[in-house]
Amino acid sequence: DTGVSQDPRHKITKRGQNVTFRCDPISEHNRLYWYRQTLGQGPEFLTYFQNEAQLEKSRLLSDRFSAERPKGSFSTLEIQRTEQGDSAMYLCAIPGGDSYNEQFFGPGTRLTVL
Amino acid sequence: DQQVKQNSPSLSVQEGRISILNCDYTNSMFDYFLWYKKYPAEGPTFLISISSIKDKNEDGRFTVFLNKSAKHLSLHIVPSQPGDSAVYFCAASAISDYKLSFGAGTTVTVRA
């Protein structure tokens, strides 16, 4: 148990539809990170939050992507007008303990866009 | 631009022998390095890490070595066990934001 749950675990959608993923850290931490992993690649950074504030967005995050962390605990990632290129594993991570150095990942949400 | 590189996509090793995984990085601002293990359909699991002020860190069967001048790190697994068969990712971060940059991974297969 990494202390992070993600919902749903799998999502199949048709191109053009909107999808929303949720990340729930079991323990509180002021930092929360989102990553995306495509087949054959390592995870790539998307964005991160310090409490409610979104501090950085990767250039991978087009205007169709939006992320929120309204109460500084759980976070949501929404993709509007999905494209086949959005098919990937979306991962959420929080630091462990008092250090930001080591991040612990949730199980991920596997998105398939048909 | 790929700032963290794992040039060996796969590694096959016999049970009981040593597995050595290699990783190179280009960003001089990286000051913390990590190894993760990943099974299919699961998130990465943290294995071991090392700060840039050290050159070795050991945890049970896992040892990470860091050569800052060469911008190179390696993970040694001794002895290798069948349960070690997985994809291993090298990652690095900088103190400015702690976001992780990952390599493409090395698939390890431990043969009985």
| DSSP label at residue B69 | T
Task: Report CB contact under 8 Å: B100, A95.
Answer: no
Identify the three-state secondary structure at position A89. Answer: strand
Interface test with A, best of B97, B101, B106, B107 (most A CBs within 10 A): B97
What 3-state DSSP class applies to A86?
helix
Q: Is A25 on the interface with B (CB under 8 A)?
A: no
Best CA proximity match to A22, nearest among A104, A92, A93: A92
Q: Which of A34, A70, A31 is nearest to A52 (CA)?
A: A70
Tokens of B78: 């001794």
**Nearest-CA neighbor of A65 among A46, A44, A51?**
A46
Question: Residue B89: its chain A contacts at CB < 8 A?
Answer: 42-43
Mean pLDDT of successive 10-residue stretches along chain A, which has 114 residues? 88 98 90 94 96 92 94 94 97 84 94 98
B103 CB neighbours in chain A (<8 A) are 42
Whole-number pLDDT of residue B76: 98
Please indicate whether, in this complex, the C-beta atoms of B104 and A2 are within 8 angstroms of each other: no
pLDDT of residue A106: 95
Number of H helices, E strands in chain B: 0, 11
* pLDDT tens, position by position, A45-72: 999 999 999 999 999 889 999 999 998 8
User: Residue type at B52?
Assistant: S
Mean predicted confidence (pLDDT) in B47-56: 96
Taking CB atoms and an 8 Å cutoff, what residues of chain B touch A102?
Answer: 34, 46, 49
- pLDDT value for A71: 86
